[in-house]
Structures are given as structure tokens and as C-alpha cells.
Amino acid sequence: MPLSPASATGLDRLAPGRPRWLLWAVLVLLVAVLLGTLIWLAGRYEAERVQGQLELDATEAVGELRSGMSRNLQSLQTLQINDPSPNAWTIDAASILREHRELVRLEWRDEGLRIRSVVDTPFQPDLFERMGRDSAQSDVQQACVAAQRLSGPAYAPSYFLPTNNGMGVELMEMCLPLVSSGRRVGFLVASYSLQGLLDELSTRQPMRNHEISLTEGDGTRLAVWGAQRRGSRVFTAQQLLDLPGGTTLVLRLNSWRQAPDFFPNLLTALVAAMTLALVSILALLANDMRHRQRAERDLADALAFRKAMEDSLVTGLRARDLRGRITYVNPAFCEMVGFEAAELLGHGVPAPYWPPELVDEYQQRQAIRLAGNVPPREGYESVFMRKDGTRFPVLIIEAPLINAQGVQTGWMSAFVDISEQRRVQELSRASHERLQATARLAMVGEMASLLSHELNQPLAAISSYATGSVNLLQDPATDVDGLKADLALPLQRIAEQAERAGRVIKSVHDFVRRREQAREAVTAQALLDAILPLVSLQARKLGVQVDTVLWPDLPAVLCDKTMVEQVILNLARNAMQAMEQVSDDARVLTLSVALAPPEGTEPRVQFSVADRGPGISENVQQQLFTPFFTTKAEGMGLGLSLCRTVVEQHGGTLEYASNAPRGTVFTFSLPAAPLA
């Protein structure tokens, strides 16, 4: 089921193309707008609340001023009760002035506005010293005219009175007509200090935080009482103070707000906190998203890499659960057996790729595996069947499948199709055999002169016996009766010699003849007998004495006879050639066969070929078994390498050592044939 890694994991939904950053930008923008609006609304609400409070304070302040002034009026009216003497009046008036700092002067004037009695405030006694009281006469008049008209208290517009200290005060005259027994008897004139009025007002709690000022209708500031300015933002509220007599003052409150008052109430603080929380959450979310995306990307990469790896593997992979059902196969496995993954997944035993004739055997193997037996680490060979019915050899390496919790959930197997390997092995075996055959022929070629020499003797003997017989027949003196007896001996000799020649030829033929590789039980004696005629041929030529030493009661060996013969012959030939340079009497070749020292479980028979030659130099030793290495002019350098291969094929090793007192001894062992 070839799936692309992305669709296999559903990661394609995350595929690029959709501008994800745009969504984020819109989200962030929306949140920013929302929060901005919330903060703005909260700020506006707060401003309105502050403004409302200020308006309320202004109204209250004006009310306060009014009621203060009317309370003052009442106090002033009490001054005239019971027609006081000027002295008594002065005492009472002074006490009023002490209590009310906003009043700076009280005058009792007669009907012609002439002063009858006067008291100045004790706090600023020399107020009128600089300008004199007459400067305010017009204001007093204006107030009293109005008071007369209204028959009640009346206020004149305020005026500025410079004082001795170079400063000045804003004063306002109030005139109260005095009536006794229904007749006007004079006026009471009170001078108000506007600053004093504000000072009085500022003692009230809500006013302490504001700047309070009294201004004219056109905004000209007359008096001001200022609280400390604590902020950059100013709120203003103003109220009209209409006084009898047509005078109107404006009371103005200014309130400054500080920057921390940006969050002055719970709502704004809450909104701000929420904003912060929201922004932090957004940041966290974005961060989390980034991590998640990176993790997903890494995961997709890892998956794609794993998938690519699985797809490009030439080794077949298969996973099975503990009940033997196939849970996973890779493309290489599908290709190997020729089935689709869908046909294999979920399939139990017998698997569709098991050859029917081997199902029983495989089922047993499976049962052993499922019983918890761990298979050999190096794997085992088996035969599978393709969908088209063809069989092929596989190497299976199996291991338990352990999950993340350390629990075995099944078996994981790797498969290698070893058909090709087998074919190569077969080829190499065949070429090896051909090489052996060639080597044999080469050896025979080397021996050709020996052979001709060897055959010469019987042939010469046959020839001379034949000539003798012919001569006998042609000789007229030959006794016909005795002819039979005379010919019998030479003819018998001819037959013997022909047989001898035939044996020489047969030994060569037997050696050269190529046969299929086959293991058979052979006695050591038989092996030696087969090669001794050929060994003797060369031994005679080189003047070598051949000794054979055979232990008694040796078991037969299990071997490929032809190959082993070639090994012994080759070693014997090397040994004889090595002794060419030594003196005649020292040329001894010893072929011995003994029981090998016990090593493994099976008994082995050891063959050794010893010479008394010069030994093998260290230089030659290093390349001894290298194919085509030779020190001889006519040598091929294949002998020892082929010998070693043959010996190893029989489970042994070809070794060599120095022979005492001189020379070399080559040894190898062959497995003993089991006793029949």
C-alpha cells in the first residue's frame, strides 16, 4: 500500500499554501482593536465619572457659598437687635469678624451712608490703609441703592483693593438696609474678601483636591485657591453664583488627574489585566503553535525518512503479532514474494508464500517460535514460494518485537533472497571444479615425460618379447613341437607388460577423469594406493625414496576421493621437488596416516606429507597459499591454494611445520566415516 508519507499521517492538512500568518495577523489585529476599544471606553467612562463628580462638587460648593453667606446675613442682622449702642455694636461686630475670616470689615452707616461705627477684621487690620475707605464708596453706594430697592441685602460687583504689601485683595461689598419700627434707619455694610470665601470653602473635604476659583462672567479670574496639581489631565466644572443686587460670580473647579489615575477604577484595572492576560495567552499560544509546528515538521521528516528507508531497503521486512498474523510488510518483501501488501496483511498461518509441501515443517517451526524460543541470531535458511509458484531460497533473521513498554508484541523478521548468492556459489563451485580439473591436467602434462619413460619400459619389453617370439617362429631350426612351450613364456611376459602399461595409463586416466563431487567412505590405504603409482613415477625420476607409515586399525574417512587424492599427490610432488637439491641418500618422502588428536566430537584421521628439503623461507611462507604464487620456472602456483580449499571443504585446515631434522611437513585431517 504505497502511501506518501504526508497523506499517511494526515499531515497534508498542514501543507503550506494557506497563509497561516495572515490568520494570525487578523486575530492579533482583532484582539488589539477589541482591547483598544475596551481601554478607550473604560477611560471615557472614568473621565465622565470624574467630570460628573466635579460638577456635583461645584454645585455643592456654590450651595455652600450661598448658605454661608445667608448664615452670615443672619449673624449680621442680630447685630442690630435691641438698638445697640455704637460701643456694644463694635464689640459684637468684632466677634463676628473673628469668627468669619471672609468678612474683612463691618460698617454701620446712617441713612446718608455716613459711617456710624466700623470694625476691621483683626487678621488684616490695615487693609484700607493704602487706598482709604473712600475709594470703595461708589461700590458701597451701588450696593446700598440696590439694597434699598430690594429692601433686602444686595451685593455690589467685586473690586480690587491694592494693599500696603504691594499685593491686593478682591473685595465685594454687601449692603443690608436697617429698619426699625417700619422705618429705615441706616445700612449695615459688610466687605467680603473673595479669597476669604474660597479659603473657607477649601476647608470642606471634597474641595481639597481641586483648584477653586471665582471668576467674572467673562472668565476674568478674581480669586483662586489652589490645591496641588498632581496630573497632566485637567477636568473643569463651573457654576454661577447669582447674588442679590445683580452681581453674578462664576465658581470654577479644576481637577488635575495623574498618570496612575489612568487605571483609577476596578473596571479599567480589570480590562487592563484581561488585556495583559489575553496578550500573554496569545503569545503563549503562538509559541506553543510554533513548537507544535516544528514538532510536526520533524515528525513528518522522520516519517518520510523512515518510509524512504523502508521503501529503498532491499531486505524484506515482515512483522507478525503473537498469534502469527502478519501486521506489516515492506515493499521489498512484497516484491520478493510477489503478493500485494493487502493480500498479506492480517494473514495467519499457513502464509500464502509457504510452499505447500513444506507447510507442515514450517508450522512446526512457527509453533516453536510462538512458544517463545528465540531463533539463532545469525538467521536460518528457508524456502519460500512466489505467487507464480516458483520457489526461492531465503535467509531469515528473526527477533522479538518489543514495544515502548518493553512488552513483546510479536516477531520482526528480515528476509534476504539468496537465490543469486546460491547461483554465484554454484558458479564458483563449478569454476573451482574446472580449475581443479585443469590443475590435474597440468600435473599430468608435467608428468608426460615420466609417463612416456614409464610406458617405454613395458613397451620395450613387449617389443623385445614380440621380436624374440617372431624370431623363434621364423627360425627353421625351431622345434615345432617345442614351439608351444617356447612361445608360452614370452607371450605371458608380453601380457604382463601390456597389463603393466595399462595400469600406468589407468592410473593417469583415473586421476584425470572428472567426476561429480561426492562424499564416500574410503580407507586411507585405498587413497594412498590410488596415488602411489603416480608418486612412484616421479620418485623414480628424482631418485626419491618413498616411505608410507599407516597406523593399524584406522577408520575409513568420509571424503571426496578424487579431490583428496589430488591433495596428497600435490603435496607429495611439492615435497619431492623441494628435495631436488639435496644429496641422494637424504631424499626421503614420508607419507603417514594416523588418528588425529581428539579436538571436536567427531574423530578425524590425520594425513601428513614430510620431506627433508630446505624448508620454506619466511618470504615464501607469507604467500604460500596465494593463488599463482610459485618459485618454480614451470610451476602454476595453484597447487597449495586448491589443496587448502579442498581440505577446508572437508572441515579441516591445511597446516605446515618444520620437519626434524630438516625439511617441511604438511598435515591435514579428514572426518572419519561413521561405522557401518
Nearer to ligand ADP, 423 or 632 (CB): 632
Q: CA 483 to CA 464: how far, in whole Å?
A: 17
Instruction: Choose, by CB under 6 A, the member of 664, 667, 670, 671 that binds ligand ADP.
Output: 664
Nearer to ligand ADP, 119 or 575 (CB): 575
Q: CA 175 to CA 347: how far, in whole Å?
A: 120
84 binds ligand ADP (CB under 6 A): no
| Residues 543 to 572 in contact with ligand ADP, rule: CB under 6 A | 570
In the complex, the smallest distance separating the C-beta of residue 448 from ligand ADP, rounded to whole angstroms, is 16
Instruction: Choose, by CB under 6 A, the member of 153, 245, 490, 639 that binds ligand ADP.
Output: 639
635 binds ligand ADP (CB under 6 A): yes
Q: CA gyration radius for the chain?
A: 69
The amino acid that residue 58 corresponds to is: A
| 105 three-state secondary structure | strand
In the complex, the smallest distance separating the C-beta of residue 478 from ligand ADP, rounded to whole angstroms, is 55
231 binds ligand ADP (CB under 6 A): no
| 420 three-state secondary structure | helix
370 binds ligand ADP (CB under 6 A): no
Q: CA 562 to CA 145: how far, in whole Å?
A: 164
Nearer to ligand ADP, 284 or 512 (CB): 512
Instruction: Choose, by CB under 6 A, the member of 231, 554, 624, 649 that binds ligand ADP.
Output: 624
Instruction: Choose, by CB under 6 A, the member of 458, 613, 652, 671 that binds ligand ADP.
Output: 613
Distance (Å) of CA 80 to CA 84, 152, 185, 265, 465: 6, 14, 11, 54, 201
In sequence order, the β-bridge partners of residue 656 are 666
According to DSSP, residue 225 is labeled E
Size of the site for ligand ADP (CB under 6 A): 19
Pairing state between β 545-550 and 588-595: parallel
Q: Where would I find the H helices in 475-606?
A: 480-512, 524-542, 561-578
Cα 251 from chain centroid (whole Å):
75
447 binds ligand ADP (CB under 6 A): no
611 binds ligand ADP (CB under 6 A): yes
Nearer to ligand ADP, 465 or 656 (CB): 656
Stretch that binds ligand ADP, among 28-36, 249-257, 347-355, 630-638 (CB under 6 A): 630-638
Pairing state between β 183-193 and 211-215: unpaired
Stretch that binds ligand ADP, among 265-273, 384-392, 489-497, 624-632 (CB under 6 A): 624-632
Nearer to ligand ADP, 178 or 439 (CB): 439
| 426 three-state secondary structure | helix
636 binds ligand ADP (CB under 6 A): yes
| 229 three-state secondary structure | coil
Distance (Å) of CA 674 to CA 479, 519, 521, 555, 608: 63, 12, 9, 8, 22
Stretch that binds ligand ADP, among 20-28, 306-314, 387-395, 612-620 (CB under 6 A): 612-620
Instruction: Choose, by CB under 6 A, the member of 283, 293, 632, 658 that binds ligand ADP.
Output: 632
Query: Which chain residues interact with ligand ADP by CB under 6 A?
Result: 570, 574-575, 578, 611, 613, 616, 620, 624, 629-632, 635-637, 639-640, 664
